[in-house]
Amino acid sequence: MQNNKNLILWVELLFALLSLWVLLMVPSYPEYAMAVLRVYILSMIVLTVSLVLVVRRYQSQHSSVDMNRIFDMVDRIDTPAFIWASDLSMMYGNHAMNELLGISEDDNGTHALELNRFFHDIGLSPKDAAEIMSKGTLSTGMVANGQKHYINWSTSLMMQNDIASLHFSIGFETTELEEAKQSLSEKTETLAISENRYALSMKLSGVGFLLCETIHNGCYNEYYVSKEAQEFLGITSDHISFHEFRKKIYSDDRYKFDNYIRELEHPDPEAEPVPRVMELRIHHEMGKPFVWYAYHYHANLVDSNKIPIVGGALVNISEEKEKDALLEKYAYQDEITEISNRKKLIEYGKECYAAYEKEHKPYWVMVLDIDRFHLINDSCGYASGNKVLREFASILSKYQDQGKQDKPGLAARLGADNFALLMHDYEDDELPKHKLDLIRKDFAKLESGEFASLSLTCSAGVAHLPRDGKTFEEVLEHAEFALTICKGELSYLMGYDAEMHQEILHQGEMEKSLSDAIEQHHLQLYYQPKFDLHTEKIMGAEALIRWIKPDGTMISPNVFIPVAEKSGMISDISNFVLREACQQTGLWQKEGLSPIVMSINFASGDFYQANVCEVVQHELDSAGLQPKYLELELTERLALGDINYTIDQMNALRAMGVLLAMDDFGTGYSSLSYIQRLPLTLLKLDRSFIIEIETDSVAQVIVSAVIQIAKSMNMETIAEGVEYEGQSKILKDMGCDYIQGYLYGKPMPAADFRKRLEINTYGKEVS
């Protein structure tokens, strides 16, 4: 439109100039013609000039109408828009613009604004305005009405004349977009931070990932390996095949991995998709020590249509394992031998029982005992005793199943000299005996150096899991019981059977009631007189224990002493007998009755106590009794022990002044030559010789010979179980010193015996 108007003006001007040229350049026309022409030309010039003026006027009128229309149109735009001159002299802003800038339209009817101020308000300089003119677009951020606005201005040239050009700028509010962008960038930043944190925490927490990804022939056979996991495995690739991964696993743990692969290949459709854990020892580098890792994985292939991600996190658990090992050491390791203790065996055994119920792999439980271990301990000292225990433990460990399977065997120390070996059955009934023979063979090899004088042997009881018990504890208990039976039988291996079970019950009941009897003082001492064949007076007594139940029934020591010996209660009984007998003898002496020698029966277990001298001395002192009035009766079972230790112990007691008798002589394993080496003061001929002595000439010869030999060794002799005068006479003739038997009195309560002592002292009863 503007260009068309200019073209008309140019055409008009050209026509006026052409007319003037014609007027000046053509003087040769006739005068009148010239005059007419001049008039014509002049009128044409006047017309043209008038026309130009009219056009100009029209033009000017027409242009101002356009501007108003334009302003009107700009006002109707509901987004901020303004018209401005390039010399920044004026501006016209629409309603939206004024609203944005907070300009009241009443104050400024023309909506005109100072452009300088506007640009200043939006933080731009005139230079920026020039830039807008050249580029056409500009994004601004401005605070209006207390709110931040982002506006994208688009500017175009509206009109141009010689002095200035007029521009039209329209703004599109991009505040929402900007804010979204900003929040996105903040979120991106947060994400980046959290990703960094994630990467860092992965690194610091030592978690790596192994994901089964690649599938060949319908099976997973390769892992994707995360960066951390690559470090764990000592690889640089982010993939590793199952085969290569398996090679990195410590050989004893590979079966776990094989089970896992089996699970992947044959998933249990019923199985819950729960995470599982597989603890593996992995070699970072072959030949280098392994590191413990826990692989927490999901292996759920229930949905066969899709390929689920199977895999999980690999976590370094070396520290935990070290702590576990330390805790395990304190809780589950025997201090002396450093093999598993009873607690560990029981926990592990329970696991084996549970495994049996699933996999039906049976076990043997063998309980072993070092024969006469107390002798080793007492004679060689505790340090040597411990050494033997350690050696024995290492032999057992040697014969423990090695860890090629899920639940390998286990060697444990149950306490004292008792050990256990848990082993797989392999359907071989001879296996326990075979293993025990090997153990015994190795153990016997230690009989050199400081243990040269000892015979190192062991015995064992064995029970079968699950045949011999419904729980592991029951199986173990039965193996232990088989061992106690085996000891009594003098055989070195005994298997558990049902008959033994009855015996267990019987013995268990007996033990229980005996222990109650001790507590409730149902044990009592009876005294049997010992008669001097020379003076024909009572010279002593034997203290014999009686268990008298509240209903008056009496239980023979022949019944309960063996039970007490097995259960260990014998030492309580012996201490009671020693104290009571000493007190009683001392009391009678203090009461003025003729002093007598009190004999007490000493079990071999009591005798081998390291502090036996101290115990005896203590009781003598507290009873105010001289040692020469106390006689300890030992049995020939001492012969089973270590002879040197026996002699030392006896010498120590003799040195105290205590008398020592060999009880039941002739029934045991000891020979006279053996007896000769012992510092005994008295030989007690067993009742079995005496019964026959009147009728059996062989018995007479033996008894006579024994009496003579004893005399030659400065030992006195006493005959037990003398019931008849004839027996007494024969014995006296043979030179026997004393007799004990029903002939002179049955074992009796203290009060009755006191009466006998009164007669002995005063010739009559006095009380």
Of residues 648, 674, 635, 613, the one with CA closest to residue 379: 648
Which parts of 571-630 interact with ligand C2E (CB under 6 A)? 577, 601, 603
**How many C-beta atoms lie closer than 10 Å to residue 277's C-beta?**
13
Pick from Mg ion, ligand C2E, none: which does 745 bind, CB < 5 to 8 A by kind? none
664 lines the binding site for ligand C2E (CB under 6 A): yes
Virtual CA dihedral for 509, 511, 512, 514, nearest 10 degrees?
120
Pick between residue 468 and residue 631 the one whose CB is nearest to Mg ion: 631
Pick between residue 388 and residue 533 the one whose CB is nearest to ligand C2E: 533
Q: How far is the CB of 762 from Mg ion (least distance, A)?
A: 28
Stretch that binds ligand C2E, among 29-37, 205-213, 228-236, 550-558 (CB under 6 A): 550-558
Distance of alpha carbon 454 from the chain centroid: 41
Pick between residue 48 and residue 604 the one whose CB is nearest to ligand C2E: 604
The helix/strand/coil state of 593 is coil
Q: What is the DSSP string of 93-157?
A: E-HHHHHHHT--TTT-TT-B--HHHHHHHTT--HHHHHHHHHHSEEEEEEEETTEEEEEEEEEEE
Determine which residue in the list 299, 533, 545, 659 makes contact with ligand C2E, applying CB under 6 A: 545
Looking up tokens 């009147």 gives 694
**Distance set, CA 614 to CA 461, 465, 715 (Å):** 36, 46, 25
Burial of 402 (0-12, 13-18, 19+ CB in 10 A): exposed
Pick between residue 278 and residue 693 the one whose CB is nearest to ligand C2E: 693
Pick between residue 642 and residue 720 the one whose CB is nearest to Mg ion: 720
Q: How far is the CB of 701 from ligand C2E (least distance, A)?
A: 22
Pick from Mg ion, ligand C2E, none: which does 507 bind, CB < 5 to 8 A by kind? none
Q: What is the DSSP string of 536-570?
A: TEEEEEEEEEEEE-TTS-EE-HHHHHHHHHHHTTH
Pick from ligand C2E, Mg ion, none: which does 741 bind, CB < 5 to 8 A by kind? ligand C2E
Which parts of 558-617 interact with Mg ion (CB under 5 A)? 601
Amino acid at 551: D
Pick between residue 388 and residue 603 the one whose CB is nearest to ligand C2E: 603
d(C-alpha 480, C-alpha 351), whole Å = 20
Sign of CA dihedral 239, 241, 247, 253: positive
Residue 176 half-sphere exposure, CB side, CA atoms within 13 Å?
Answer: 2
Give the number of residues written for the chain: 767
- H-helix segments, 212-251: 227-233, 242-248
Looking up tokens 């907070």 gives 102
Q: How far is the CB of 565 from ligand C2E (least distance, A)?
A: 8
Pick between residue 575 and residue 644 the one whose CB is nearest to Mg ion: 575
Determine which residue in the list 370, 414, 544, 683 makes contact with ligand C2E, applying CB under 6 A: 544
Pick from Mg ion, ligand C2E, none: which does 183 bind, CB < 5 to 8 A by kind? none
Q: How far is the CB of 667 from Mg ion (least distance, A)?
A: 9
Pick from Mg ion, ligand C2E, none: which does 585 bind, CB < 5 to 8 A by kind? none
Of residues 626, 625, 524, the one with CA closest to residue 577: 524
Pick between residue 471 and residue 571 the one whose CB is nearest to ligand C2E: 571
Pick between residue 533 and residue 632 the one whose CB is nearest to Mg ion: 632
Q: How far is the CB of 352 from ligand C2E (least distance, A)?
A: 41
558 lines the binding site for ligand C2E (CB under 6 A): yes
Which parts of 166-225 interact with ligand C2E (CB under 6 A)? none
d(C-alpha 241, C-alpha 323), whole Å = 32
Pick from Mg ion, ligand C2E, none: which does 723 bind, CB < 5 to 8 A by kind? ligand C2E
Amino acid at 71: F
369 lines the binding site for Mg ion (CB under 5 A): no
Pick from Mg ion, ligand C2E, none: which does 337 bind, CB < 5 to 8 A by kind? none
Pick from Mg ion, ligand C2E, none: which does 675 bind, CB < 5 to 8 A by kind? none
649 lines the binding site for Mg ion (CB under 5 A): no
Quote the DSSP letter at residue 400: S
Which parts of 125-164 interact with ligand C2E (CB under 6 A)? none
Which parts of 685-744 interact with ligand C2E (CB under 6 A)? 720-723, 740-742
The helix/strand/coil state of 409 is coil
Pick from ligand C2E, Mg ion, none: which does 301 bind, CB < 5 to 8 A by kind? none
The helix/strand/coil state of 317 is coil
463 touches 471 (CB < 8 A): no
Q: How far is the CB of 514 from Mg ion (least distance, A)?
A: 20
Determine which residue in the list 480, 636, 664, 737 makes contact with Mg ion, applying CB under 5 A: 664
The helix/strand/coil state of 74 is helix
Pick between residue 40 and residue 742 the one whose CB is nearest to ligand C2E: 742
Pick from ligand C2E, Mg ion, none: which does 561 bind, CB < 5 to 8 A by kind? ligand C2E
747 lines the binding site for ligand C2E (CB under 6 A): yes
Edge-to-edge strands, sheet with 418-424: 340-341, 410-415, 418-424, 363-370, 458-465, 493-495
Determine which residue in the list 480, 619, 642, 663 makes contact with ligand C2E, applying CB under 6 A: 663
# chain residues binding Mg ion, by CB under 5 A: 5
Which residues make up the interface to Mg ion (CB under 5 A)?
A: 601, 633, 663-664, 720
Which residues make up the interface to ligand C2E (CB under 6 A)?
A: 528, 544-545, 556-558, 561, 577, 601, 603, 633, 663-664, 720-723, 740-742, 747
